[in-house]
Structure formats: structure tokens, C-alpha cells
Amino acid sequence: MKRKFTLGFSPCPNDTFVFDALVHHKIDTAGYDFEVILEDVEALNRMAAEDRLDITKLSYHALVYMTDRYQLLRSGSALGHGCGPLLIAREKLSEKQINEAKIAIPGKLTTANLLLSVAYPKAGNKESVLFSDVEELVCSGAYDAGLLIHENRFTYEQKGLFKILDLGDYWENLTWLPIPLGGIVIRRSFPEEIKLQVSDLIRKSVEYAFANPESPMSYIREHAQAMEDEVMKQHIALYVNEYSVDLGDKGKTAVRRVLDTAQENGWIDTYTEPVWI
């Protein structure tokens, strides 16, 4: 079996924080090497759908459609509390207005879009744009509303935009579970030993970053698009936590709830077990 794998993750601070020690061999990688593909999460979702990646960050919404090909690793996930996507607009909108609004979303396969579909099932006029462009497109009037993820959660008020709904709060009030945004998946066809080793390496990479928080900062800044250090640190604190080290029972229950929600809404007929390694 080959010892080099394609590894996809986003250039966002939480992912570069998680993977810095692994890709720069700050930990013992057990003879494995990784070809890094840095793309925004929706691009990674599409690449995984085309079966182009061995290991990748994947929206939990996208995982719904790919359990036959990919399995979830226990480490590297982005779940948490108070970290969900935000539906924003230039002014307060009623539910009727939202259902009729032209909404910019960060991708059809993002978990943000899944949560929006659950909260506003009649909101059908949605268009995919690059996540970092959502704010400006709403500000310019090109879209009536937008779905914010990542660091834009911290900046929209400075642009004079209003929060219509925190979809993370909506999910947590509905389920009493952490918000499952994205996880790390590996080809289901790989031997179990490799899956377990890779998951363990990612766990060690996260633990190294927590123990040495300044170590990944140069890598984070390199890809953070001139983001201020304070915003980068807020971003990391929001999305990297105990669930990134190991999903645990509560994390797995939250992931299962996403899959069951997709099934209950008729988006999929079934999904392949076991979901995680």
C-alpha cells in the first residue's frame, strides 16, 4: 500500500492550526507523507464527490452523500457550541421575505446550507458563492441575504449588516447537541490499519498545536489573507476544541443526527455503516 496520500483541507486558521505539525513533520508521521491540497471547503466537497482525494476535510452535509466512499476519522473535526453559520442581511427580514430572498450561500454541500434548509425549507432562491465573498455581495445589494461561515462571523457588524438567525443556536436549541460543521474523512477502501494510523497522526498534530500554540502561527498567517492576529485566534478558539482531538460519544451523536436529518427529509435513502472508523 502506498505511503503518500493526497490531503485536502482549507486555508482557514482552524485547519492550518490542526494540520501544521503533520504536514511539516513536527511529529513523527510513521513513514507517511502527504500531498497537501489547500482549497475552500466547498471546493474540497466537490473534489471528494469526484473521488479525487484520499483524505480530506469534508462538510458534514457533503458526508451525507458520500458514506459509501469515505469514512469519518475520529480526529480533526470542527464541532462546537456557539460556532454556527449566520444568516445576515442589510436589514431585518420576515420569514416570508427570507423565503422569497435571493440568498448567497458558501456552497450547496456545506453544513451551513443544510442548517438553512432545515430552518427555512421554503427558501429556494439560493446561489453558491465563495464563502469570503458573501459579506460584500450582500453589502453591494447583489443578494438580499447571505450565509456567513468562518471569520466573517466576526466582521459583519462592522459592515452594517444585521443577523437574521444564528443557525448554530437554532441547531443547538433543536437538538441539544454541538454543531457538526466539518470532519476529516478517508477512503473507505483503505485498510483499517492505515485509517487508524492516520486518525492517530491527526490527533497528535492537534495535540502538538495545543501544546505549542505559537508553532503553527507562521503557517496560519501565510494562508490567512491578511487577517488580523486577534481574529485568527478567535477563529481557532471557536472551531478547534476537544472534538477536534476526538469526536467522542457526543460528537458522534451530533454527526448521526445530521445523517438522520438528511434521511428524514428524503435527501438520501440510506447511508453506509460504519460511518466512522
Q: Can you give the residue ranges of every domain in the chain? A: 4-80+180-264, 86-175
Please state which of the four CATH numbers 3.40.50.170, 3.40.190.10, 3.40.50.12160, 3.90.1150.10 is assigned to the domain occupying 86-175: 3.40.190.10
Q: In what order do the strands lie in the sheet with 145-148?
A: 126-128, 103-105, 145-148, 86-89, 162-166
Distance CA(8)–CA(6), nearest Å, equals 7
At residue 97, φ and ψ (nearest 5 deg) are -65, -40
Question: Which CATH number applies to 4-80+180-264?
Answer: 3.40.190.10
| Rounded average pLDDT over 158-185 | 92
Question: Of 25, 61, 81, 150, which one is the catalytic site residue?
Answer: 150
| Rounded average pLDDT over 194-204 | 97
pLDDT range class, residue 36, cuts 50, 70, 90: very high
Cα 205 from chain centroid? 18
At residue 78, φ and ψ (nearest 5 deg) are -110, 100
Residue 1: predicted pLDDT: 55
**Per-residue pLDDT at 117 exceeds 80:** yes
**Per-residue pLDDT at 7 exceeds 80:** yes
pLDDT range class, residue 6, cuts 50, 70, 90: very high
**Per-residue pLDDT at 249 exceeds 70:** yes
150: annotated active-site residue: yes
| Rounded average pLDDT over 68-86 | 93
Which among 10, 45, 76 is positioned nearest to 277, based on CA atoms?
Answer: 76
Equal CATH topology for 4-80+180-264 and 86-175:
yes
Q: Which residue has the higher pLDDT, 229 or 141?
A: 141
**Per-residue pLDDT at 2 exceeds 80:** no
**Per-residue pLDDT at 153 exceeds 80:** no
pLDDT range class, residue 149, cuts 50, 70, 90: confident
Distance CA(9)–CA(184), nearest Å, equals 9
pTM to 2 decimal places: 0.89
28: helix, coil or strand? Answer: coil
**Per-residue pLDDT at 3 exceeds 60:** yes
**Per-residue pLDDT at 176 exceeds 70:** yes
pLDDT range class, residue 137, cuts 50, 70, 90: very high
| Rounded average pLDDT over 63-86 | 93
Distance CA(71)–CA(58), nearest Å, equals 11
